[in-house]
Amino acid sequence: MLSTLFPQAHVRYASLPVVGGTLEEFCIWLDARGYPPEAIRRRVRGARLLSSALRRRRVRRLSDLTAVGLRSFAPRPTRWTAQLACSLVRSLSQFLQERAVLAPRPLTPAEEQVATYAQYLTTGRGLAPRTVIRHSARVLEFLRFLRYDTQPQRLRTLQSADVEGFMGKNGGRLGRASMQKVSAVLRSFLRFLAAQRVLPPGLDARIDSPRCYRGERLPRALPWETVRQLLGAVDRTTSKGKRDYAMLLMIGSYGLRASEIAALKLDDVCWRSRTIRVPRPKVGSPLSLPLTDDIATALLDYLSHGRPPSAHRQLFLRVRIPLGPIESTAVTDVFETWAARIGLQLPARAGGPHCLRHSVAVHLLRKGATLKAIGDLLGHRSAESTSVYLRLQLDDLRNVALPLPALAPEVKR
């Protein structure tokens, strides 16, 4: 591919010291990720500047560098040639990391401690990978607060005041529900340290957890007319609009989570049986739902005219380069983009597209659906989980109110 991009100069680039041998596969990798030819050429043109910088520091092999070390060779993008080199270094770092060419970065003492704890969460407690990642990030934040890298003895001399200091630092920026999760992670980590005989047992019991009460939060459901207005505002003449409409329609019809939308694959849509298999990363077991005509039409429109050609099996892909599967955060961005375009006034702590899930539950309840049917659609295992989505609003309370009996006329004496 290098000879196609540079018919006359491809030998010059391929013979560059250190980086020349990787440029052919690098160009193929960029092309597979959806980069246009001109964007690939721009990155390859920065190879001479990168090669000169590597040679000045006497780097002979890319495998001698870590990802951080390679990115340190990116010059300040003050000139056009430097900007080309910066783009090359960023993309080349990702390419080499995927192929495990770069040297692994040595872990810090805090990261080693977190890796041990993450292994315990995975094998000892059987937590889901996403949960392990969240717990590990919170524990790493705690260890950095203790300056564990420079003072590893801090764990053995840990006091309640140290834990309270960390909780106080987070309490200024997090709500009570989030602080409950922080305290739960810390208690679990302290129990793990006690089992490892790093700490004496009982320190975890001294962590107070904020109180959160069931039903204290206001309903997050939107009026159903607002949901229809949001779907109608999506511009379906563009590739992005076709994708966004299909995602929002699936949330508004099935009440799917953002993570479930991002996890959908092409094989999950069963056209012959008219069903759709919804993977549920939060629960672990898939959910089978009927494929409605509206959903099928929206998906066909996206797959035929909106989805870029790609080897990825995920249903929804990015619309910008590099091509690839979307993350759950992209679903939130889609919802917020179209909600802002129509000037939608969201309730406080609406939760992004999750409020559409609440809207579906309330809409079905008002249409006469049973609590069991709504729970089955949402993928809940208990009616208690479904009841969280069905908090009554003022209009519902007005319908429940009974008329006052008329006063009997007074009898004159």
The whole-chain average pLDDT of the chain stands at 83
- The token pair that represents 325 in the structure block: 């599967």
Q: How far apart are CA 333 and CA 336, in angstroms?
A: 5
What pLDDT was estimated at residue 259?
A: 87
Phi, psi (degrees; rounded to nearest 5) at 32: -70, -25
**Average pLDDT, stretch 327-333?**
90
> Hey, what are 410's tokens?
């007074």
Exposure b/e, 85-123, CB count within 10 A at least 16 = b: bbbbbebbbebbeeeeebeeeeeeebbebbeebbebbee
How sure is the predictor about 243, in pLDDT bands with cuts at 50, 70 and 90? Answer: very high
Tens-place pLDDT, residues 179-208: 888 889 999 999 999 888 888 888 888 887
Please name the CATH architecture into which domain 224-398 falls. Answer: Orthogonal Bundle (1.10)
**Is residue 411's pLDDT more than 80?**
no
More confident site: 330 or 402: 330
What is the per-residue pLDDT for 309? 85
Residue 61 has pLDDT above 90, yes or no: no
Region of poorest pLDDT, from 30-44, 63-77, 221-235: 63-77
In CATH terms, the fold of domain 109-206 is: DNA polymerase; domain 1 (1.10.150)
Residue 77's closest CA among 91, 66, 68, 88? 88
Tell me the domain boundaries of the chain.
2-98, 109-206, 224-398
Burial (CB < 10 A; 0-12, 13-18, 19+), residue 275, is middle
Average pLDDT for 2-17: 84
Q: Greater confidence, 252 or 407?
A: 252
Per-residue pLDDT reduced to its tens digit, 364-388: 888 887 878 888 777 777 776 777 7
Q: Which two tokens stand for residue 374?
A: 């709504």
Residue 35: pLDDT over 80: yes
Catalytically active residues are 257, 282, 354, 357, 380, 389
Task: Mark 197-217 as b/e (b = at least 16 C-beta within 10 Å).
Answer: eebeeebbeebeeeeeeeeee
**Contact at 8 Å (CB) between 210 and 183?**
yes
Distance CA 348, CA 164 (A): 29
